[in-house]
Structure formats: structure tokens, C-alpha cells
């Protein structure tokens, strides 16, 4: 594909198309056949994690100097989208891996990056992001897990809840309060903990509505020692690191949502072209045809906001937080609506697990909740509009 | 070890767009091109052989195809082939198996290799004669229907397990040799993302008939010795039941099926 020099392009680059198509083939042939079983057994698909590692998909978000592919944000999102189209749990393996690693990529020292990134890029290690607590969800700064300096280490005590991959990760990016008296946004500090570690325990695995193969853990820290060398940034930087992380991780969740919506749309369209009632294909009935058209338009709209958000964030837009929030908001709502309508198009067959749309509908719901609820996304967008909190 | 794999871009059999044009030739605009499935198995076998061979071993792709072929060959390069050689020339349109084998043999004369691997046939023409014909042109030992390939670099021989109606034949020949490859050799790998990115900078050398020293009047559609007279769609067969399970389970089920049809 020849792009006219200097002309802005509104299409994916050739590299991005190649990458997307390669992941799509893998998702269709290797991931999709496993999706129903992953959902039914609620077991983490270690085989697919190995596959993503072997195919360099887990290497996408990481710089080439540390064994990564140096993919831009949009490339990561294209991969998450294609995987999620087949299986949202599998898409989350990449999205959550990127989320956990972002603090190291954004604020880690050269030494810290050299220490951890190669094993994350190869997929040998998984990393998780541990910020949320039972009493600190949307209100991140209300976290109570404490980290107390003790010589060359910090001693961390507290617990984290709803931690994606918490039970399968080798590294835990954990946020803890180092100064409870500081202003709200200067209380938290970010650490990377290599696990297992004395005092660290997985105390609970959640039973979830969707993403059932993705383990969501409660993590307990009982006087866990973390070397000072594992602190990301300075004391008090944690809240800022988390917010910068979300600017790049929310698009990945939006990509997951777009992928789920696309997957459901494809099943619904194929069904409507095949299923006959009243002597015709149900897709030719105007009420069904209109639903399909709205589903397609909603999915494509969400995809375009996402791709545009990726381009703006990658270009260093001062509006990055707004773009990240907006794409997650639009895509999460689209995924919920499209999957719900897909179940409707399939009628009784949509409500049973002979078809994947009921799973997709259950999987879609979380995209309206995690990495900031839709209400938090609206808060971020509204504040940007009003010129506050940027 | 230097291995050449013969590869052919074919219409994607999964696209449902395979069709013939009014001239009886393949309509290449009707479906996206992919690497012929059996050639991917041959390439996979070649990649496994060079992975086990000394450093510096390599796989070269050789293809005779229209000028758009590099887009298709990139996938084979992404799987791990070292480089590609594409013979393309307007005069080659409409080539039959004889022309094709002469051209491929000419391209191979410019290369050094220990083994040439080819899929047993291609999903578009399904003739299955080109590999043997190439071997004949080059006077290479021809080992067909390989289910296993075991080269011995020190002895400069290769041993092949050939599928036969009753099991396997063991063939042994000096290298260089040409081997036609079956799917029993093992599933082709998926290209990794690094492989895909790396393939973009790999060399695909283009050769015209003049480069190969071939006279355009001696190859291509005008001198084809075969012609398509008529095509027919085979009649639909009845529903097929595939019996799966362990051999005893399968045997029991087959007995049951035969009994219900009063065949035993």
C-alpha cells in the first residue's frame, strides 16, 4: 500500500493490517474452538497463554530492545480486539498483561525495565495490576494497603480485591499508601513484587458472571518485604502512575469490548441469514434487519472512536485521558447493547449455550465496569469539558 | 543444509470463490490467493529439518506465479523461509504441467540445494504431476508421498517413509533429491508476529523467462499440450457420517451402521 508522503492517513498501516489478520486467523482457528469450554470450566487457558507467548502476541506492548515487538497502542488494541472477538477471556490475557506492565514501561527506571521486561515480553512471566481494594474501587485514593520503609525494603500489609490474573501472575504491580497524611493524590506508591513471596497469599477466587476463565483474585499482603529497588518512581507517585496507566489501558478494554461486539454481530448476522420463519430469512424481516444494522453501526462507531483514541494518545495528545475514557465508555456500552440484541436475534437459541452469544453477553457486562466504571469515564470526560481535573 | 520448497499461490479454498473464467482458466480475481495447503506442509517439514541442521542452513522458496505472488509468498517467509525466488512472465499465462515443470526446473538450476520439497498436489489443479516432472527434468531422485524425511548429511543420503496402500515403503536416495510431501509430515506452524514483521524485509528475487534462458515461444498457454474441454460439477453425495472414537468403538459403530442398512 502506497501512502502519499505527508498526507495524513485514516487507514491502518500495512504492518497493522498484517498483524490484525494474523491474530484473526489464530483467533478463529485456535482460540474460538476453546472459548465455550473455557467459559464452562472457568479454568485459566494456560494453553492459549502459551500460544500467545509463542506467537509473540504477548510481546506486542514491549520495546524491541527488551525482546518486545515495539507495537504502538493501536497494534496492541487490534490484537486484543481480534482475540476477544473469539474469546474475551483470551483477549484479556494480553490486555491485563499490558495493564500490569504499563507502570514499569511508563515510570520504571532503565534498570527495572531491563530486569523485568524481557521475561514479560517473552511471555515466560505474566504480570498483574493490583490497585483495587474492597473499600477502594472507583475511589482509588481511598486505598488502605500500607507500605512502610524499613532500611532497604518496604513492608507491605493489606489486601487487594478483583485482581485479574492475581493467582497466575509472576509479578504483581501493587499500589500501597506510603504517607497517609499526604494530600489524597500523593498518598500512594507503586511497587513491583516478585511472587511467590513470604507473607503474600491468594485468599479468594471470585465466581463471576462472565470472563469465567480469567482468574480474579483477592491478594493478601502480610508484612511482605519488597526491595526499595522495586519501587516504581518516587514515594507518592503512585496515583499519577495509575492515572497515566489508565490512559493506555482503557483503550485495550475498549478493544476487548469492540471485539466482543463484533463476535456477537457476526453470529447474529449468520443466524439471521440462515434461520427461516414465515417463509423467509428472519434477516429479511424489517424488524430483525434493522436490529442488525444498528448493531453493525454501533460496533463500527465504537471501533472508530477507539482507533482515533489510540492515534491521539500515541501522539501525546493533552486530551489523552478524555480519549481513553471516551473510547471505553462508547465501546463498553456498544458491546452490552450489541450482545444483548444478538441474543434477541437468536431468540430461544440465543439464551442457551448451543450458541456463543449468551456467553458474549455475560462477558460484555464487565467492560462497563472494570478499568473505571462507565460512570467514572463520564466523570473524566465531563471534567475535561469543564476544564477541571486534566 | 539447503532446502528448496516449491510453493504455489492458489485461490483460497475456504473463500468459496474458486471458479474458472470463460477461457477455462482459473479466475484469479474471484478469490484471495493463499499458499497451497500441501506446500505449507512441505515448508513446515523443511523448517523442522533446518532447525535440526547446522547453523547457516536455509530454506528457499521457488514459485512460478503472476506478479502479485509476493503478497502470498510473504506468509511462507513469515513462517520462517529464508528467501524467495519468483518466476513471473506474461508469457507463462495458461501454462500446463509440462511448461510449469520446465520453468521450475530452470529456476532450480540456478540454485544450490540438498533437497527440493513440494506438496503432493495443489488445491486448484490437483494434477499432482509437477513434482515428478521437475525431478525428471533435473534427473533428481524422486521420493514421493513422504510421511517422514530423514536426511543424513554426512552420508549425503536421504531416507523417506512413503505412504503406500498397505502401510509404508522405506526409500533411500542420494542427495540432492526431490520429495513430494504429504500432510502426515505434520501441521504447518502459524507465523509469529516477529516472523510476519521480519518477512517484509526478506528478499524475493524475481526472474523472467529471459533470466532463465527460456524461449517464451516454448512455454505457456500457446504450446500447452493439455486443454480444458468441459467442466462439470460432481453430483452431490448423500450425507456422510464420520465415525470417531477408539478402534473398538469405531468398529462396533460401523458394524451397527452396516447392520441397519442390511449390508451384513
Give residue A9's pLDDT band: very low, low, confident or very high (50, 70, 90). low
How far is the C-alpha of A142 from the C-alpha of A84, rounded, in Å? Answer: 32
Residue A8: per-residue pLDDT: 53
Q: Within this chain, do residues A343 and A207 fall inside the same structural domain, yes or no? A: no
Nearest to A55 among B190, B197, B200 (CB): B190
Residue A330 lies in a domain: yes
Q: Which residues contact B17 (CB under 8 A, 6 or more apart)?
A: B11, B30, B31, B32
Q: Within this chain, do residues A190 and A255 fall inside the same structural domain, yes or no? A: no
Choose one of A236, A260, A288: the last residue of a domain: A236
Residue B74 lies in a domain: yes
State how far the alpha carbon of A327 is from the alpha carbons of A17, A251, A255, A293, A310, in Å: 21, 6, 9, 21, 9
Q: Which residues of B touch A64 (CB under 8 A)?
A: none
Q: How would you classify residue A170: left for phi > 0, otherwise alpha for psi between -120 and 50, otherwise beta?
A: alpha
State how far the alpha carbon of A378 is from the alpha carbons of A327, A348, B220, in Å: 11, 35, 66
Mean pLDDT across the stretch A312-319?
95
Residue B84: per-residue pLDDT: 97
Nearest to A55 among B192, B197, B200 (CB): B192
Residue A317 lies in a domain: yes
Residue A234 known to be catalytic: no
- Listed as ranges, residues in chain B with pLDDT below 50 are none
Domain carrying residue B42? 2-223
Q: Which residues contact A321 (CB under 8 A, 6 or more apart)?
A: A243, A246, A247, A380, A384, A390
Give residue A2's pLDDT band: very low, low, confident or very high (50, 70, 90). very low
Q: Within this chain, do residues A227 and A285 fall inside the same structural domain, yes or no? A: no
Give the Cβ contact number of residue B217 at 10 Å. Answer: 10
Residue B242 lies in a domain: no
Judge: A15–B200 Cβ closer than 8 Å, yes or no.
yes
- How deeply is A232 buried, as exposed, middle or buried, from its count of CB atoms within 10 A (0-12, 13-18, 19+)? buried
CB contact at 8 A, B80 and B195: yes
Residue with more model confidence, A297 or B70: A297
Q: Which residues contact B29 (CB under 8 A, 6 or more apart)?
A: none
Mean pLDDT across the stretch A345-357?
97
Choose one of A86, A121, A156: the last residue of a domain: A121
Three-class DSSP category at A27: helix
Residue B29: per-residue pLDDT: 79
Q: Across all residues in chain B, what is the average pLDDT?
A: 92
Residue with more model confidence, A163 or B123: A163
DSSP one-letter string for A266-294: HHHHHHHHH-EETTEEGGGSHHHHHHHHH
Residue A283 lies in a domain: yes
Q: Which residues of B touch A29 (CB under 8 A)?
A: 190
Q: Which residues of B touch A57 (CB under 8 A)?
A: 193
Residue B174 lies in a domain: yes
Domain carrying residue A139? 127-236
Q: Within this chain, do residues A172 and A208 fall inside the same structural domain, yes or no? A: yes
| A4 backbone dihedrals φ, ψ, rounded to 5° | -60, 130
Q: Across all residues in chain A, what is the average pLDDT?
A: 95
pLDDT tens track for A86-132? 999 999 999 999 999 999 999 999 999 999 999 999 999 999 999 99
CB contact at 8 A, A345 and A314: no
Query: What's the DSSP call for residue A388?
Result: -
Residue A4: per-residue pLDDT: 43
How far is the C-alpha of A280 from the C-alpha of A252, rounded, in Å? Answer: 40
Q: Which residues of B touch A69 (CB under 8 A)?
A: 193-194, 197
Q: Within this chain, do residues A41 and A153 fall inside the same structural domain, yes or no? A: no
Residue A304 lies in a domain: yes
* Residue in chain B nearest A1 by alpha carbon: B71
Judge: B190–A60 Cβ closer than 8 Å, yes or no.
no
**Residue in A215, A194, A175, A66 with CA at minimum distance from that of residue A125:** A194
Q: Within this chain, do residues A258 and A369 fall inside the same structural domain, yes or no? A: yes
Task: Indicate which CATH number applies to the domain containing A204.
Answer: 2.40.110.10
Judge: B194–A15 Cβ closer than 8 Å, yes or no.
no
Nearest to B193 among A29, A30, A60 (CB): A60
Q: Within this chain, do residues A257 and A329 fall inside the same structural domain, yes or no? A: yes
- ipTM of the complex as predicted: 0.83
* Residue in chain B nearest A24 by alpha carbon: B190
| A155 backbone dihedrals φ, ψ, rounded to 5° | -110, 115
Nearest to B191 among A22, A59, A60 (CB): A22
Q: Within this chain, do residues A226 and A150 fall inside the same structural domain, yes or no? A: yes
Q: HEC states along A194-227?
A: ECCCCCEEEEEECCCCCCCCCCEEEEEEEEEEEE
pLDDT tens track for A215-246? 999 999 999 999 999 999 999 999 999 999 99
| B128 backbone dihedrals φ, ψ, rounded to 5° | 75, 20
Q: How would you classify residue A355: left for phi > 0, otherwise alpha for psi between -120 and 50, otherwise beta?
A: beta
Residue A364 lies in a domain: yes
Q: Within this chain, do residues A74 and A156 fall inside the same structural domain, yes or no? A: no
How far is the C-alpha of A99 from the C-alpha of A130, rounded, in Å? Answer: 10
**Residue in A242, A23, A268 with CA at minimum distance from that of residue A136:** A242
Residue B263 lies in a domain: no
Q: Which residues of B touch A62 (CB under 8 A)?
A: none
Q: Which residues of B touch A60 (CB under 8 A)?
A: 193
Cβ under 8 Å to B: A residues 4-63 = 15, 18-19, 22-23, 25-26, 29-30, 54-57, 59-60
Residue A218 lies in a domain: yes
Q: Please count the structural domains in chain B.
A: 1
Q: To which H or E segment does residue A179 belong?
A: none
A/B interface, count of CB pairs below 8 Å:
33
Q: How many residues does chain B have?
A: 264
Task: Indicate which CATH number applies to the domain containing A29.
Answer: 1.10.540.10
Judge: B193–A54 Cβ closer than 8 Å, yes or no.
no
Q: How far is A69 from chain B (nearest CA, A)?
A: 7
Sort strands B157-164 and B142-152 into parallel, antiparallel or unpaired. Answer: antiparallel
Q: How far is B196 from chain A (nearest CA, A)?
A: 7
Q: Within this chain, do residues A364 and A305 fall inside the same structural domain, yes or no? A: yes
Asked if omega into B176 is within 30° of 0 (cis), the reply is: yes
Interface of B with A (CB under 8 A): 78, 190-197, 200
**Residue in A196, A164, A146 with CA at minimum distance from that of residue A91:** A164
Q: Within this chain, do residues A38 and A115 fall inside the same structural domain, yes or no? A: yes
Chain A contact probe: residue of B71, B193, B201 with most A CBs at under 10 A: B193
Judge: A18–B194 Cβ closer than 8 Å, yes or no.
no
Residue B22: per-residue pLDDT: 76
DSSP one-letter string for A35-96: HHHHHHHT---HHHHHHHHHTTSTTTTS-GGGT-----HHHHHHHHHHHHHH-HHHHHHHHH
Choose one of A102, A121, A140: the last residue of a domain: A121
| B182 backbone dihedrals φ, ψ, rounded to 5° | -100, 170
**Residue in A255, A27, A59 with CA at minimum distance from that of residue B193:** A59
How far is the C-alpha of B37 from the C-alpha of B76, rounded, in Å? Answer: 11
Q: Please count the structural domains in chain A.
A: 3
DSSP one-letter string for B82-124: -EEEEE--GGGTT--HHHHHHHHHHHHHTS--SEEEEES--TT
| A200 backbone dihedrals φ, ψ, rounded to 5° | -95, 130
For chain A, give the percent of residues with pLDDT over 90: 95
Evaluate the CA torsion angle B179, B185, B189, B194 in order and state its sign: negative
Q: Which residues of A touch B190 (CB under 8 A)?
A: 22, 25-26, 29-30, 55
Residue A335 lies in a domain: yes
Task: Indicate which CATH number applies to the domain containing B63.
Answer: 3.40.50.620
Residue A5 lies in a domain: no
Q: Within this chain, do residues A227 and A332 fall inside the same structural domain, yes or no? A: no
On the question of pLDDT at A250 being above 50, the answer is yes
Task: Indicate which CATH number applies to the domain containing A294.
Answer: 1.20.140.10
Amino acid at each position: 500500500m502506497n501512502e502519499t508522503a505527508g498526507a495524513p492517513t485514516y487507514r491502518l498501516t500495512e504492518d497493522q493490517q498484517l498483524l490484525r489478520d494474523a491474530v484473526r486467523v489464530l483467533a478463529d482457528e485456535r482460540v474460538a474452538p476453546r472459548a465455550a469450554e473455557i467459559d464452562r470450566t472457568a479454568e485459566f487457558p494456560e494453553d492459549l497463554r502459551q500460544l500467545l507467548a509463542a506467537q509473540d502476541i504477548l510481546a506486542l506492548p514491549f520495546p524491541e530492545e527488551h525482546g518486545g515487538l515495539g507495537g504502538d497502542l493501536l497494534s496492541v488494541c487490534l490484537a486484543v480486539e481480534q482475540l476477544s472477538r473469539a474469546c474475551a477471556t483470551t483477549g484479556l490475557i494480553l490486555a491485563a498483561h499490558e495493564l500490569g506492565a504499563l507502570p514499569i514501561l511508563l515510570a520504571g527506571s532503565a534498570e527495572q525495565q531491563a530486569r523485568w521486561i524481557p521475561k514479560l515480553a517473552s511471555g515466560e512471566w505474566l504480570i498483574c495490576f493490583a490497585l483495587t481494594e474492597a473499600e477502594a474501587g472507583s475511589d482509588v485514593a481511598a486505598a488502605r494497603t500500607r507500605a512502610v520503609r524499613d532500611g532497604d525494603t518496604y513492608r507491605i500489609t493489606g489486601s487487594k480485591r478483583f485482581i485479574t490474573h492475581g493467582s497466575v501472575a509472576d509479578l504483581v504491580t501493587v499500589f500501597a499508601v506510603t504517607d497517609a497524611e499526604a494530600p489524597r493524590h500523593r498518598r500512594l506508591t507503586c511497587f513491583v513484587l516478585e511472587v511467590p513471596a513470604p507473607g503474600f497469599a491468594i485468599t479468594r477466587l471470585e465466581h463471576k458472571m462472565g470472563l469465567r476463565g480469567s482468574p480474579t483474585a483477592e491478594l493478601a499482603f502480610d508484612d511482605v518485604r519488597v526491595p526499595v529497588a522495586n519501587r516504581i518512581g518516587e514515594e507518592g507517585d503512585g496515583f499519577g502512575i495509575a492515572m497515566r496507566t489508565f490512559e493506555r489501558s482503557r483503550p485495550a478494554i475498549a478493544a476487548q469490548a469492540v471485539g466482543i461486539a463484533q463476535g456477537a454481530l457476526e453470529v447474529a448476522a449468520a443466524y439471521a441469514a440462515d434461520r427461516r420463519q414465515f417463509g423467509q430469512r428472519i434477516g429479511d424481516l424489517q424488524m430483525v434487519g434493522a436490529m442488525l444494522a444498528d448493531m453493525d453501526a454501533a460496533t463500527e462507531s465504537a471501533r472508530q472512536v477507539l482507533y482515533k483514541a489510540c492515534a491521539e494518545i500515541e501522539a501525546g495528545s493533552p486530551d489523552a485521558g478524555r480519549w481513553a475514557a471516551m473510547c471505553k465508555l462508547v465501546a463498553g456500552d456498544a458491546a452490552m447493547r450489541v450482545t444483548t440484541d444478538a441474543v434477541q436475534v437468536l431468540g430461544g437459541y440465543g439464551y442457551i449455550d448451543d450458541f456463543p452469544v449468551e456467553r458474549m453477553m455475560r462477558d460484555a457486562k464487565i467492560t462497563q465496569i472494570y478499568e473505571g466504571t462507565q460512570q467514572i469515564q463520564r466523570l473524566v470526560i465531563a471534567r475535561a469539558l469543564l476544564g477541571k481535573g486534566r | 543444509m539447503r532446502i528448496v520448497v516449491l510453493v504455489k499461490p492458489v485461490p483460497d479454498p475456504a473463500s468459496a470463490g474458486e471458479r474458472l473464467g470463460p477461457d477455462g482458466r482459473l479466475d484469479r480475481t474471484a478469490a484471495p490467493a493463499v499458499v497451497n495447503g500441501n506446500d505449507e506442509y512441505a515448508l513446515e517439514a523443511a523448517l523442522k529439518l533446518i532447525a535440526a541442521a547446522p547453523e547457516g542452513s536455509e530454506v528457499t522458496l521457488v514459485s512460478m506465479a503472476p506478479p502479485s505472488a509476493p503478497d502470498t509468498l510473504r506468509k511462507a517467509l513469515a513462517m520462517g523461509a529464508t528467501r524467495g525466488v519468483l518466476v513471473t512472465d506474461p508469457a507463462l499465462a495458461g501454462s500446463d504441467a509440462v511448461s510449469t515443470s520446465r520453468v521450475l526446473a530452470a529456476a532450480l538450476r540456478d540454485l544450490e540445494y540438498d533437497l527440493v520439497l513440494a506438496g503432493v498436489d495443489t488445491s486448484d489443479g490437483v494434477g499432482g504431476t509437477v513434482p515428478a516432472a521437475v525431478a525428471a527434468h533435473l534427473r533428481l531422485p524422486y521420493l514421493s508421498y513422504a510421511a517422514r524425511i530423514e536426511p543424513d548429511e554426512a552420508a549425503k543420503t536421504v531416507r523417506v517413509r512413503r505412504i503406500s496402500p498397505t502401510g509404508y515403503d522405506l526409500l533411500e536416495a542420494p542427495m540432492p533429491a526431490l520429495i513430494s510431501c504429504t500432510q502426515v509430515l505434520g501441521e504447518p506452524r502459524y507465523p509469529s508476529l516477529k516472523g510476519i514483521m521480519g518477512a517484509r524485509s526478506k528478499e524475493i528475487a524475481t526472474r523472467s523467462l529471459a533470466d532463465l534462458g527460456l524461449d517464451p515461444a516454448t512455454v505457456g498457454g500457446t504450446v500447452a499440450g493439455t486443454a480444458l474441454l468441459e467442466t462439470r460439477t460432481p453430483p452431490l453425495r448423500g450425507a456422510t457420517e464420520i465415525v470417531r472414537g477408539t478402534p473398538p468403538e469405531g468398529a462396533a459403530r460401523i458394524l451397527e451402521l452396516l447392520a441397519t442398512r442390511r449390508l451384513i
